[in-house]
Structure 1
Amino acid sequence: MSGGNVAINLCVLLWARPGAEAALAAYEDKVLALFDDHGCTLLQRVRTDGADGAPTEVQIITVPSQAALDAYLADERRTALAAERDAAVARTDIHRVELV
């Protein structure tokens, strides 16, 4: 991902491991709480029942820059939760999007 000081909009799709839907939500609650420290904004967060292969959770996020996104991803409070994430999250897809 590139883009100096240009705001970035992301659509994040998350699939829970079987039976770990609540654990995915709990993990996301923790890491999304770090957004303010990096200037990131959660615009929308929704959940599905996961039927027919749908993602468990979808998030629309705005980050102020690539540097802010990199800092969030490297945040030690976030990376310390890697085992919790691995136990709850089966798959993550991230797409750059335009808000319309």
Structure 2
Amino acid sequence: MAESEAIEIVTFRLVRGVSFADFVEANREVDAWLTLQPGFRSRRIAKEHGACIADVLLWDDEAAARAAMHRLMDELADSPVHALIDQATVTWTVAPIGHKHDIDN
């Protein structure tokens, strides 16, 4: 059986004094890196009203998502984006997509 698409959801808060716009700007390096990763499909970053950030990525499969996360921590360990995140608030989940409903644009 072929593996399904997978969704990666990371939630966290930014450190005090960092704006959402600053965080998005700092992610240019991560965005460029993601486009080179096998199985990467898309990324969306949102800010909830309570200041929680949701970073949602779509991957070809769960294995691609997990492998990329490990590479990111090695290859972008020195990225300034990490200092903008309150590391104590990070949650990370990867799960295969069990239901999909698309609409044509």
Bin the TM-score by the shorter chain.
Answer: 0.5 to 0.7
> 1:11-51 CA deviation, whole Å, 9 max, x = no partner?
221310000224432332321222221131225322245x3
- Secondary structure of 1:79 counterpart: coil
Mark the runs of 5 or more structure 2 residues left unpaired by the alignment. Answer: none
Counterpart in 2 of 1:10? 8
Corresponding position of 1:92:
90
Where has structure 1 moved over 4 Å in runs of 4 or more?
Answer: 97-100
Aligned CA-pair RMSD: 2.8
Give matches, 1:1-100, under 5 Å. 5-21=3-19, 22-38=21-37, 39-48=39-48, 51=50, 54-55=51-52, 57-73=53-69, 74-75=71-72, 77-81=75-79, 84-90=80-86, 91-96=89-94, 98=97
User: More strand per residue: 1 or 2?
Assistant: 2
Q: Distance in 2 between matches of 1:89 and 1:43?
A: 18
- Percent identity (aligned): 12
TM-score w.r.t. structure 2 length?
0.61
Give 1 or 2: higher helix fraction: 1
Count of paired positions: 91
Q: Which runs of 5+ in 1 are unaligned?
A: none
- Does the 8 A contact of 1:42 with 1:59 survive in 2? no
- Greater radius of gyration (CA): 2
Q: TM-score, normalised on structure 1?
A: 0.63
**Offset at 1:88?**
0.6
